[in-house]
Homo-oligomer: A and B are copies of this chain.
């Protein structure tokens, strides 16, 4: 598996583009993106578990049922959520506008939106910009970059990746872009993630690989505990790599699924690190739980705690808050079996054994916790379950960004 450049355009047969059409009214930052495959695709997707779903989610859920999506149009600056029947019509229009220009049926286009909730989506500016959007399509990295910029909101960094991996001797490519910064919590983040691949694979196995990868990546990220209305992870596979088709769970499938998981974990970490106002990536790694799912519950409880997050911001080795957060996670355990270690590039320090204080150097702990990437290692018992969850610290800037997001 090799990292390569190109993002979603790294997969053969894919183009991408992005423009400013005017949805972001107060700036001229790009706000409309398109990703498109020259060839037919199989596709799979996962969506928010929020009972309030954006119009784009509802429409894409309809379209994904056909499993043939080969393009996705996405906007930032407006979530098109809580917008009623007009919102549904607007999302459908977005798909239709792109489909007509690309000579596809509407079911072959996915739609995604991100931004403020409850404001009507100005579909007329999208209509006015559609030719320019199509014109911006490119199979170069520049096309990928433009599309990626056009899905960003409060994101401060571009989050993308692309890899090449050999599947039974044939090189295949996977490219990915993701946006997500606030309103981020499993399942899933407020995130849009578009993944392209030129592997030839059955739709069923593509779906399976995606679910596995998302479970261990995007569903293990937390920024602020708010599960958004718009979350969408969509993967398209166009078979351009011409590998012998993957239609069974042999080594080829395993290799692809593992590569997809690595890619998604990388982007999940990038999303946590770019959490609104965050100064630190905080990895909470739990071991010794009954199974992987239980370990993930413990890790999420700790990574989601406002008090733990604030302590991370202050580089304060306040392990009592870690134990407290384990305690309300909802799963039984023996508090007297818990061990907690803080770790970073500056070293590691165990602060709690058998559920109580171990004497440690506060100065050393402060130094370790002052790094930009810190890890909280927790042993909760002697089971075999382990899992990591990625989060970030809680900072003044989180409050600042969200105290006045709309204006």
Interface: A385 (CB within 8 A):
no
Is A245 on the interface with B (CB-CB < 8 A)? no
Complex contacts, A118 vs chain B, CB 8 Å = 319-320, 323, 352, 356-357
- Beyond A49-B328, A51-B328, is A316–B405 a contact (Cβ under 8 Å)? yes
Q: Which residues of B contact A228 (CB under 8 A)?
A: 324
Per-position 1/0 for A229-271, Cβ under 8 A of B: 1000000000000000000000000000000000000000000
Q: A50-B327, A225-B305 known; A321 and B394 CB under 8 Å?
A: no
Q: Quick check: is A81 within 8 A (CB to CB) of the other chain?
A: yes
Query: From residue 306 to 345 of chain A, which have CB atoms closer than 8 A to chain B?
Result: 306-307, 310-311, 313-314, 316, 318-321, 323-329, 332-333, 335-336
Taken residue by residue from 344 to 387, chain A's Cβ proximity to chain B (1 for < 8 Å, 0 otherwise) reads as 00000000101111000000000000000000000000000000
* Number of chain copies forming the complex: 2
Contact code string A95-122 (vs B, CB < 8 Å = 1, else 0): 0000000000000000000001111100
Q: Does A217 contact B (CB under 8 A)?
A: no
Interfacial chain B residues near A140, Cβ < 8 Å: none
Residues of B contacting A329 in the complex (Cβ-Cβ under 8 angstroms): 51
In the assembled complex, A127 has its CB within 8 A of some CB on chain B: no
Cβ of A202 within 8 Å of any chain B Cβ, yes or no, is: no
Picked from B84, B183, B404, B406, the residue with its CB within 8 Å of the CB of A354 is: B84
Residue numbers in B under 8 Å from A227 (CB-CB): 324, 327-328
What is the bound-complex CA distance between A364 and B26, given in angstroms?
Answer: 22
Q: Which of B226, B229, B307, B395 contacts A226 (CB 8 A)?
A: B307
Q: Give A80 Cβ to nearest chain B Cβ, in Å.
A: 11
Q: Quick check: is A39 within 8 A (CB to CB) of the other chain?
A: no
Establish whether residues A311 and B402, one from each chain, have CB atoms under 8 Å apart when the complex forms: yes
Chain B minimum-CB-distance residue to A320: B117
Is there contact, CB below 8 Å, between A399 and B396? yes
The complex places the Cα of A398 from the Cα of B84 at a distance, in Å, of 36
Q: Is A28 an interface residue (CB 8 A)?
A: no
CB distance from A192 to the nearest CB of B (A): 16
| B-side contacts of A182, CB under 8 Å | 307
Q: Is the CB of A226 within 8 A of B402?
A: no
* A49-61 contact mask (Cβ, 8 Å, vs B): 1 or 0: 1111100000000
Does A403 lie at the interface of the complex (its beta carbon under 8 Å from any beta carbon of B)? yes
Residues of A within 8 A of B (CB): 49-53, 79, 81-84, 86-87, 116-120, 182-183, 185, 224-229, 304-307, 310-311, 313-314, 316, 318-321, 323-329, 332-333, 335-336, 352, 354-357, 394-396, 398-407
- Give 27 A-B contacts (CB < 8 Å), ordered by A residue: A50-B328, A51-B333, A52-B327, A52-B355, A82-B319, A84-B355, A86-B356, A117-B319, A117-B323, A117-B324, A118-B323, A183-B324, A185-B328, A224-B307, A225-B306, A226-B321, A226-B324, A228-B324, A229-B324, A229-B327, A310-B402, A310-B403, A313-B399, A316-B404, A316-B407, A318-B406, A395-B399
